[in-house]
Amino acid sequence: MSAAQPTRMTYREACRQALRDALNAEPRSFLMGEDVGLYGGCYAVSKGLLEEFGDRRIRDTPLSESAFVGAGIGAAIAGLRPIVEIMTCNFSLLALDQIMNSAATIPHMSGGQFAVPVVIRMATGAGRQLAAQHSHSLEGWYAHIPGLRVLAPGTVEDARYMLAPALADPNPVLLFEHIMLYNAEGEIPPDVTKVDITDARLRREGGDLSLITYGGSLPKTLEAAARLAEEGIEAAVLDLRVLRPLDEAAILATVRHTGRAVIVDEGWRSGSLAAEIGMRLMEQCFDSLKAPVARVCTREVPIPYAAHLEQAALPSVAGIVEAARGLLEAT
Amino acid sequence: MTTKAHVDRAMLLHLYREMRRIRVFEERCVELYQAEKIRGFLHLYDGQEAVAVGIMQALAARDAVVATYREHGQAIARGIGTDVLMAEMFGRLEGCCRGRGGSMHIFDRATRFYGGNAIVGGGLPLAIGIALADRELERDAVTACFFGEGAVDEGEFHESVNLAVLWQLPVLFVCENNLYSMGTPLEMAEAETDIHRKAACYRLPSESVDGMSPLAVLSAATRAVEHIRATGGPYFLECRTYRFRAHSMFDAQGYRTREEVALWRRRDPIPRLANWLLDNALGKAGELEAIETAIVAEMDAAVAFAERGSLEPIDALERFVTLDEVPA
């Protein structure tokens, strides 16, 4: 294979390679979490890393989310660069005290004396019939909290390269990996060896409306944009990538250009990240809007087990297409 | 191991001075609270001073401390200046946390003082991580983690103690059992009220100690720290103590009797040590008075420092929410 060829890999492989790079590049880093070592990771992300790096760098923990997340925070404050894995964001609620009351507060509360350079990775999202205690999307909640940086890689490229800058960040970073993306394949261009963790990225150009999304909803949104194109509607797709702090300039720029916005968010509608983005559009580019801002969010139910119910609850390609059409028909 | 704490006349006077500094600092805090110079929650350590003073005396500068919202005693005994502490109570820029933490959130990088945690049990997981970092970075340090007996109700206590033993981390767990978690007596909250037995069932070396005696605490802490440095693993001390005053400034104390408080006051470690020094002719004439005069002068200076402190400009409100770099 020549050097000019793009690299093809799955999102899972990209996450694993990112971990491998981080562990090689940063001697103070280690991975810690439930079943990350011997078992190879609940979603097989860390498979093989225990053999490669040993049990000081790949640290299996008891089922004590609060203690091992808090230990990651404490270790970061005291000079290490921990990468903590929580199996799913649903379990992160058992560690919410440490994330919110310690990681997010200590830099400020200490008057800048202590930084918390920890990375906390967790799986998020629905789609595998795992029912209401394994399927929620809580990244929007975390994006509410000052002091945290919240990342949602929606592409293989971001899964591959977001971890390095996250680990270099002096602040606590939460990284949400969508469970439906782990098996997805993608290509990384040969010239890409790093990404930023600050900017939203336009994944598709279009002048008729802006579809604003992130993470697991990105592939659905791109598919919706392709279908709309078949109907002659050109939709721009903005991948937020960073949910806190939001790249407000990019959001405003695309909506000022198109005059229409549909926000696609796997979080529940009420109090969602979509609501926040919609409000910022009202505040800052009301005059550019040709139609009311629309949203496609998850229906307000605990995610059910039955496949047809689960799918009905989640944002869908058809739902995004319909919302987009609705906006164009309205104007 | 037979090493004991080296206790001589100078050490006894030091223990007395440190306890007394904490007591007088907090008496000033009460006055200043009533004068509305200090606001928010104010949790006094009154009665428990022997614990912080005894433990700190057994630690080295390279060691780390994690404390709770009732941490004025730990902060002073650890060596944080009463001037920057008082300025913090006043919410001033010159405070150790630039007025952002207040009474419950004292942090100090120079002395490795990692808070001031006002979530009961919340400091324990942090202590695990700090100890893990110290071990991995080969710092040969002990992390002393203070918490009340109320923290034993929390899952974080059990998770953290288990991890410390499982990973053999250099943590000194210091449970200050003052019998009440705010207004709830221990026996209303715990099926097993003998707390050090809980630690023992996690295979954690543990003992109970008279928390009203600075010498008993110092002696046990010296033993504990020595064990930790020798083995690398954790140790647990239950210090049986009592807080003489209310839980915070808003507490009618309906949960305990005046007689009970009076009984415990008779065990107040500060006059007991003073009397013992005098009875055994270890305190020279005028020596305790000289200590008192120096402490009063120190606290006057601390209050004056806080009074003339400045206010953080509102423009800097969001500063430190995120940091541009890890402080060196």
Q: How far apart are CA B77 and CA B258, in angstroms?
A: 29
Residues A227 and A83 placed together within one structural domain of the fold: no
Number of structural domains chain A divides into:
2
Residue B2 has pLDDT above 50, yes or no: no
A193 inside domain: no
- Please check whether residues A172 and A271 belong to one and the same domain: no
Enumerate the residues of chain B whose CB falls inside 8 A of the CB of residue A92.
none
A106 vs B contacts (CB less than 8 Å): 107, 115
Q: Encode pLDDT of B45-72 as tens digits.
A: 999 999 999 999 999 999 999 999 999 9
Of A30, A77, A107, the CB nearest to B320: A107
**CB B323 to CB A97 under 8 A?**
no
Distance of CA B5 to the CA centre of its chain: 19
Classify residue B324: in a domain, yes or no.
no
Domain that holds residue A42: 7-188
* Contact: A67, B133; criterion CB under 8 Å: no
pLDDT tens figures, B91-111: 999 999 999 999 999 999 999
Task: Flag whether residue A115 sits within 8 Å of chain B, measured between CB atoms.
Answer: yes
The residue ranking higher by pLDDT, A284 or B7, is A284
Active site residue A65: yes
The CA distance from B131 to B171, in Å, is 6
Mean predicted lDDT score pLDDT of chain B: 95
Domain final position from A130, A163, A188: A188
With vertex at residue B279, the alpha carbon angle to CA B274 and CA B282, rounded to the nearest 5 degrees, is 70
Residue A1 has pLDDT above 60, yes or no: no
Q: Please tell me the distance from the alpha carbon of residue B172 to that of residue B64, in angstroms, as a whole number.
A: 10
Q: pTM score, two decimals?
A: 0.96
Asked whether residue A238 is domain-assigned, the answer is yes
Say if residue A166 is in the same domain as residue A306: no
Among A157, A188, A219, the domain-final residue is A188
Q: In which order are the strands placed within the sheet that holds A201-204?
A: A201-204, A235-239, A209-213, A261-268, A294-298
**A99 shares a domain with A74:** yes
- For residue B1, pLDDT beyond 60: no
CATH of the domain at B83: 3.40.50.970
Domain count, chain B: 1
Instruction: Report the C-alpha gap between A246 and A197 in whole angstroms.
Output: 11
Residue B50's nearest CA partner among B268, B203, B303 is B268
Give the A:B interface size as CB pairs under 8 Å.
165
Is B313 within the bounds of a domain? no
Find the domain containing B34 and state its range: 9-248+257-306
Asked if B165 contacts B233 with a C-beta cutoff of 8 angstroms, the reply is yes
Which of A139, A163, A188 finishes a domain? A188
Query: Could you tell me the CATH number of the domain that includes residue A34?
Result: 3.40.50.970
Query: Average of pLDDT values for A45-67?
Result: 97
Which three-class secondary structure state does DSSP give residue B238? strand
Question: Which of A66, A146, A171 is closest, CB to CB, to B125?
Answer: A66
pLDDT digits (tens, 9 = 90+) for B199-235: 989 999 999 999 999 999 999 999 999 999 999 999 9
Would B140 be classed as within a structural domain? Answer: yes
Asked if pLDDT for residue A51 goes beyond 70, the answer is yes
Together in a domain, A208 and A178: no
Specify whether A127 is located in the same domain as A69: yes
Quick check: is A134 catalytic?
yes
A171 and A120 in a single domain? The answer is yes
pLDDT tens digit string along A91-121? 999 999 999 999 999 999 999 999 999 999 9
| Residue B2 or A24, more confident | A24
Question: Which tokens hold the place of B237?
Answer: 């001390």
Domain at A205, CATH number: 3.40.50.920
A76–chain B nearest CA distance, Å: 8
